[in-house]
Amino acid sequence: MTSQISSGPLSGLKVIEFTDEIAPWAGKLLAEMGADVIRIEPIEGSKTRWYEPFLGDIPNPEQSLFFWHYNLRKRSVALDIQSEEGKTLFKRLVAQADILVEDQPPGKMADLGIGYANLSSENLSLIHAAVTPFGQSGPRASEPATDLTLLAGSGPAWSCGYDDHELPPIRGGGGQGYHTASHWAVISILTAVIARDQIGRGQFIDVNASAASNVSTEGASYTWLVAQETVQRQTGRHAGVRPSSPTQVQAADGRWINSGVPARQGKDFQNTYDWLEDEGLLDQFPEAPLLQIGGQREGFLNLGAISSGEDEEGAAIFAAGRAAMVLLIKSLPAYEYFTKAQERGFQCGIIYSPEEVMQDPHFVDRGFPLDIEHPELGRSFTYPGVPYKFLGSPCEIKMRPPFLGEHTRDVMIDLQYSTDEIQMWIDSGYVLST
Amino acid sequence: MTKALSNLRICDFTGQLAGAGATRHLAAFGAEVIRIEDPVNEGRWDILRGNAPFVDERRGIDLGGAFNNHNVEKKAITLNLRTEKGKQLLTELIAKSDVVSENFSAGVMDRLGFGYEDLTKIKEDIIYVSNSGFGASGPYKPFKTWGPIVQAVSGLTFSSGLPDQQSAGWGYSFMNHTGGYYMCIAILAALIHRRHTGSGQWVDLACTEAAASLTGPAILDWSANGRPMRRNGQPDSNHNDWPRMAPHGIYATHMPDTWIALACRNDEDWTKLRNLIDEPALYDQQFDGLDGRIEKQTELDKHVSRWIQHYDQQALYQLMLDQGIPCAPVRTPQQRVDQDPNTENWGLWPTVKHSQMGQVRVDGLPVHLSETDWYLENGAGCLGEHNEEIYGEILGYNSQQINSFKDQGVI
């Protein structure tokens, strides 16, 4: 396998990925859009090959499900970057690439003799994106960090958690601090690809993971920037300067619903009344006449007039609308509530666990669950698919994640290394080929 | 400095953050982003227009702080698409644009008469990027969402919280930011494809799918191992499964609601932390290896919590940092905006000039490009602020004609 099947909007772009754990998601996003991504691994393999979960719970560097997810459709070249031979191979790969994405600590690439100055002298078109916790320089550049400490120190955790502030702030699950940094790496890389045609050269991109989370906190940042006010965390809903009403309600089957924005306009109240009637719940809801009164109102309730006490009837209508929603949620199984509410025009969501998303009829209908064949294991596995449909250049993903060093030999042959030379390098431990 | 995207013109219908956030980044890199708003309802489809936070006691459709943040460096024009003349002006503008972007509910552009097929008749190689909650096909196509709904349905809300509690979820619209990032990526990738092939296309982005792609290892644990995340003891997102670490969590310091996060990546970090805590029980062999620490995590956390609760947040942060243990205060907005030398040094909170609000600080970009960096100097456009410029300079109408558009309620 010396070249990729051309598909996806980025087909034709060559990417060298030299990452540890922060930025493999950036390589994955480029790969799924059709770029040819070669992941450079050390001879012993990326440490993320030892991240759980494992297939069958048996530790095996070729069967880390974590590694699989982040490396779908990439190729793997294993080399010893400390050796002169390994460095030479690395430089030759980068010399013919469009993009290098790496997440080494600041200064490490230069210390190895493969910093931007060195690499760009051989390839002026190179776009070199370096993703680090705190940027290449600055007062915090050498601080150690993990996804948890990034999310805690850079804003997200302050806004996430529970109404009860005796409980700790929560770090959202799934490595989202690293993902946010990787999203910015991809945005800036693609921007530089377009700029390259204009300025005739590539450039160096400094991606700061902490800064990425800092500017991804919505109201927490701009409420401070604009008004010097501080938001407070609340269970399952927006942190706010002033408390808001709960939005998560447990349905009849024990699962939870996010009830969304409550009814605010006349037709919503009548709609709610009709729904209670259809479910046979009117006799359990003495406030029902308020919904009918609300149904007579034109346009939206004025929430300002309600909270200031100017519109007492409006306040009662609004409260009845909310109480009716809670009754409906408690009376119906979560999925039934979710679909019925949405079909009636009420914005709401069922709180799914990740695996439930993959079994939902809508996501299945759109082809989001992706079956990838692992021929060596004699079976296929379901991965999350691509979030965008490029209707004019569909992303075809059929390649399973690579074995360690699976493509070393092919890539060296492409670079005109002789068979003898390749064997000698393998025997000397400069590269690994499987 | 050269602007990376200065040859690019975007006919932009986006709003809120999930859409406006996407074209904001393109504007910061020099793209001409023309934001089109309805003059009849004063652009209130975007609920952030005219809403809090405010810089002072003034209120009004042009004074919303969030709207300004998400729409810096964009041009603002008004256009009434209920009128035939309005449709004609839009047609003329699309003919001179590279991209049409929107984040309405699926199907809205079709109803306006500007669905993808219509757009290609106006400009054959147009790039059309739509960002909706559930995408432009499938049974939930008409369903409505905003950030918290996207997060609920995609598995992100469920994945965030403590065992034996309901979901904590995300205390803001993480997916409005992230959906905006995906939308920005989609626009750029389609532009690169057009440069290579000459062809435009429609990109159908579903925000719920973008979100669901961010829980991959959990999905594979289910599909390969049959292990669902909906099970006892899960989620437990302050602890860590992938990779496992212990101790790993957010702990209370001596002041109310003042917290610190720490993560021991390996035995070396643990040894350093243990030496700081210096509690005899922690020298027990059972804590030496990761397996033992995970197994006895509850006990371990009790010791760590007991030690941390007497400390001042900043003092403890410095103490652990000196040892090289990854840690961070759970920073308040004030701490990270006004008191963090790292964000200041980066230039992360630039001040822009807004024609009515005056000087306002906004989110900067977390990247620096050596040859074509971003810049943010101008605030969001006021309603119709750039009508003369766009209808005049780009479409070639004179001021008399533009005035008559205003009189007829077209703009």
B9-213+344-407 matches B259-329 in fold: no
The pairing of beta strand A36-41 with beta strand A14-18 = parallel
- pLDDT for B106 beyond 90: no
Residue A101 is which amino acid?
A: V
B247 preceded by a cis bond (ω within 30 of 0): yes
DSSP state letter for A66: H
Tokens of A113: 């003799």
Q: What is residue A6's predicted lDDT score, i.e. its pLDDT? A: 56
Q: Chain B residues with CB inside 8 Å of A65's CB?
A: 217, 220-221, 224-225
A346 and A389, same domain (yes or no): no
- Give the whole-angstrom CA distance, residue B269 versus residue B252: 20
Which residues of chain A fall below pLDDT 70? 1-6
The H or E element that residue A184 is part of is helix A176-199
Tokens of B311: 């400390």
Residue B144 is which amino acid?
A: K
- Give the whole-angstrom CA distance, residue A339 versus residue A61: 42
Which of A57, A329, A357, A364 is best to mutate for the B interface (most B CBs within 10 A)? A357
A346 and A370, same domain (yes or no): no
Q: Chain A residues with CB inside 8 Å of B330's CB?
A: 152-153, 157-158, 169
A336 and A369, same domain (yes or no): no
- Given A350, A380, A396, the domain boundary residue is A350
The pairing of beta strand A256-258 with beta strand A248-250 = antiparallel
Q: What is residue B240's predicted lDDT score, i.e. its pLDDT? A: 81
The CATH superfamily holding the domain B259-329 is formyl-coa transferase, domain 3 (3.30.1540.10)
**Cα distances (Å, whole numbers) of residue A54 to A49, A66, A357:** 9, 8, 21
A64 and A212, same domain (yes or no): yes
Residue A215 is which amino acid?
A: V
Does A304 map to a domain?
Answer: yes
- Closest CA–CA distance from residue B321 to any residue of chain A (Å): 7
SS3 A239: strand
Q: What is the mean pLDDT of residues B31-40?
A: 96
Q: What is residue A301's predicted lDDT score, i.e. its pLDDT? A: 86
DSSP state letter for B128: E
Q: Chain B residues with CB inside 8 Å of A212's CB?
A: 366
Does A421 map to a domain?
Answer: yes
Interface confidence, given as ipTM, is 0.98
B235 preceded by a cis bond (ω within 30 of 0): yes
Residue in B167, B237, B348 nearest the CB of A214? B348
A288 and A194, same domain (yes or no): no
How many folded domains does chain A comprise? 2
Residue B6 CA from chain centroid, whole number: 23
A53 preceded by a cis bond (ω within 30 of 0): yes
Q: What length does chain B have?
A: 411
Q: Which structural domain range is residue A288 located in? A: 256-350
- pLDDT for B232 beyond 50: yes
Residue pair B76/B384 in contact (Cβ under 8 Å)? The answer is: yes
A195 and A291, same domain (yes or no): no
A293 and A383, same domain (yes or no): no
- Closest CA–CA distance from residue B175 to any residue of chain A (Å): 10
The CATH superfamily holding the domain B9-213+344-407 is Crotonobetainyl-coa:carnitine coa-transferase; domain 1 (3.40.50.10540)
Number of Cα atoms under 13 Å in the Cβ half of residue A165: 13
Q: Spell out the long-range contacts of A265-268 with Cβ–Cβ below 8 A and sequence spacing 24 or more.
A: A265/A297, A265/A299, A265/A300, A265/A301, A266/A294, A266/A295, A266/A296, A266/A297, A266/A298, A266/A299, A267/A295, A268/A294, A268/A321, A268/A345, A268/A346
- Closest CA–CA distance from residue A143 to any residue of chain B (Å): 7
Tokens of A38: 């070669």
Which is nearest to B216 in space by CA: A365, A387, A367, A361?
A387
A211 and A271, same domain (yes or no): no
Place of tokens 């916790």: A133
Please state, as a whole number, how many other Cβ atoms lie within 10 Å of the Cβ of residue B108.
16
Q: What is residue A282's predicted lDDT score, i.e. its pLDDT? A: 96
Q: Chain B residues with CB inside 8 Å of A263's CB?
A: none
Residue pair A234/A243 in contact (Cβ under 8 Å)? The answer is: yes
Does A232 map to a domain?
Answer: no
How many cross-chain Cβ pairs, A to B, lie less than 8 Å apart?
Answer: 534
Q: What is the CATH number of the domain that holds A140?
A: 3.40.50.10540
Does A3 map to a domain?
Answer: no
State the pLDDT confidence band at B23, using cuts at 50, 70 and 90.
very high
**Cα distances (Å, whole numbers) of residue B236 to A95, A99, A358, B240:** 44, 37, 21, 7
Instruction: Describe the strand order of the beta sheet including A256-258 as a list of residue ranges.
Output: A248-250, A256-258, A349-350
Q: What is residue A118's predicted lDDT score, i.e. its pLDDT? A: 97
Q: What is residue A5's predicted lDDT score, i.e. its pLDDT? A: 46
Chain B residue with Cα closest to A30? B189
A188 and A260, same domain (yes or no): no
Domain ranges of chain B: 9-213+344-407, 259-329
Dihedral sign of CA atoms A334, A335, A341, A347 in order? positive
Q: Chain A residues with CB inside 8 Å of B235's CB?
A: 173
A263 and A309, same domain (yes or no): yes
Q: Are B212 and A207 within 8 A, CB to CB? A: no
Does A250 map to a domain?
Answer: no
Residue pair B176/A371 in contact (Cβ under 8 Å)? The answer is: no
Which is nearest to A39 in space by CA: A88, A90, A86, A1?
A90
DSSP state letter for A318: H
Please state, as a whole number, how many other Cβ atoms lie within 10 Å of the Cβ of residue A361.
11
